[in-house]
Amino acid sequence: MTRRFVTGDENFSPGHRACIGCGEALAMRQVVKALGDNIILVNATGCSEIIASALPTTSWKIPWIHTLFENTASIASGIESALKVVERKGKRKKAKVIAFAGDGGTSDIGLQALSGALERGHDLLYVCFDNEAYMNTGIQRSSSTPYGAWTTTAPSGKMSIGQKTWKKNMPAIAIAHDIPYMATACPSYPFDLMDKVKKAVSVDGPSYLHIYVVCPTGWRCKTNLTIRLGKLAVETGIFPLYEVEEGKYKMSVDPPELTPIKDYFKIQGRFKHLSDEVIEEIQKKVTGDYQRLKEKMEGL
C-alpha cells in the first residue's frame, strides 16, 4: 500500500512556460498543493506571472488575478477587505487571500505596499519567491541579489566585482512588522515548505513566507542542479530555514556543521569571477550572520 503525503491535485497545472529546472515553478507548485481550493491568488508581474498566463490560456484552476508589478500586497488587501464585508453582509463565505511576488516585486518596488499590508494586519499570506534577481526582464540586480554575484546591471568587470551590496534581509523586515507568522523555505525541502504554508494560512492576520528558488538561467548553472543548490544554500548557512511564530524563533534545519560556501559558489557561473579573498570575506559574513540568527532561537 502506498500512502500519499501530498495531494495529486494540480491547481497550478502543467504546460506552463517556465525554463528547464525552474525552482520558482517548483516552489509555486508545492505552495499551491498545500493551499487547497478555497483561495484567491494575487500575482505580481514577474516570472511567476508570465510563465502561466498568456491569453487566452491560463494554468490556474483557482481564482487568480494579476495587475501590476509593485501593488500585489495592496490588491490582496483590497480583496481581503472585500471578502470580510461580503461575508459580514451574508453574501458569500470568505476565502484565504494569497499573494505571490518575486524578490524584486517584494524587496524593491513592492516593499512599500507590502509594509502597508503587513502593518494594517490584513488576513493574508504573502509569498516571496527569491531567485535573487529580476529574472523576468533578464537577470538584473535586485536588493536581494547576493554580494559579489554577476547580474546584467551589476556585471563583473575590471572595475567591479558584480553586486556591491549585501543581500537585503527581507525576512527580518517582515518580522519587524510584528506579524504572527514568518518563515523561510526552499522547495529542496518540500515537506518543510508545505508544512509552513499550512501554518501560515492557519494564522489570523498577515503571514509572510520567503522562499529560496534556484534559477539556473540567471545563476548560470546546470539545470539539473536546482534541488542540489537549494540544499547547499541551506547547508552552507547562506539561506537558513527558520520560522518565527508570535515572535518565537525556531530553526527548521540546523546542520551540525556548515558546508563551506565554496562548494555552493563553484557550480554557479554568477560567482565564477570571485577571487579566493572575496569568497573568504563572504564566508565570514555568512558564518557571522548564521551565528547571530541562531542566537535568536528559543532555548539555545
Partner 1 sequence: MTKRVGLEGSFAVSEAVRMADVDVLSAYPITPQTHIVERLSEMVADGDLDAEFICVESEHSAMSACVGASAAGARVFTCTAGQGLELMHEVLYIPSSMRLPVVAVVANRALSSPLSVWGDHSDAMAVRDIGWVQIFAENVQQAYDLTLCAYRIAEDKDVLFPAMVHLDGFHLSHVIEPVILPDQRQVDDFIPEFEYPFALNPDKPVSMGCYGPPYIYTEAKKSQNVAFESSRKIVSKAWGEFEGIFERSYLPVESYRTEDADVILLVMGSFAETAMLAIDRMRKEGKKVGLARLRLWRPFPFDEIRKAVKGAKLLVVLDRCISFGYGGPVCSELRSAFYREKNRPDIVSFIGGLGGRDITIDQYEYMIKRGKEISENGSEEEFEMIGVRQ
Residue 42 interacts with ligand TPP (CB under 6 A): yes or no: no
Give the CA-trace dihedral at 245, 246, 247, 252, to 10 degrees.
Answer: -10
- Any idea which residue has 558546508 for its cell? 259
What is the three-class DSSP state of 128? strand
Residue 69 interacts with ligand TPP (CB under 6 A): yes or no: yes
Residue 68 or 267 having the CB closest to partner 1: 68
Give the binding range for ligand TPP (CB under 6 A) out of 115-123, 134-142, 163-171, 204-212: 134-142
Q: Is the peptide bond before 56 cis (omega within 30 degrees of 0)?
A: yes
Dist CA 124 CA 174 (whole Å): 13
The interface with partner 1 within residues 35-54 (CB under 8 A) comprises 37-40, 42-43, 49-50, 53-54
Q: Assess contact for 200 and 31: CB atoms under 8 A.
A: no
Dist CA 295 CA 300 (whole Å): 7
Give the CA count within 13 Å in the CB-facing half-sphere of 90.
Answer: 0
Give the binding range for ligand TPP (CB under 6 A) out of 30-38, 135-143, 148-156, 220-228: 135-143
Residue 92 interacts with partner 1 (CB under 8 A): yes or no: yes
Residue 14 interacts with partner 1 (CB under 8 A): yes or no: no
Q: Assess contact for 16 and 51: CB atoms under 8 A.
A: yes
Q: Which listed option, partner 1, ligand TPP, none, makes contact with residue 201 (CB within 5 to 8 Å by class)?
A: none
**Three cell numbers, residue 280:** 573568504
Work out which of 23, 46, 180, 216 binds ligand TPP, going by CB under 6 A: 46
Residue 142 or 252 having the CB closest to ligand TPP: 142
Q: Which listed option, ligand TPP, partner 1, none, makes contact with residue 116 (CB within 5 to 8 Å by class)?
A: partner 1
Tell me the number of residues near partner 1 by CB under 8 A: 50
Give contact residues for ligand TPP (rule: CB under 6 A): 24, 45-48, 69-70, 101-105, 129, 131, 134-137, 142
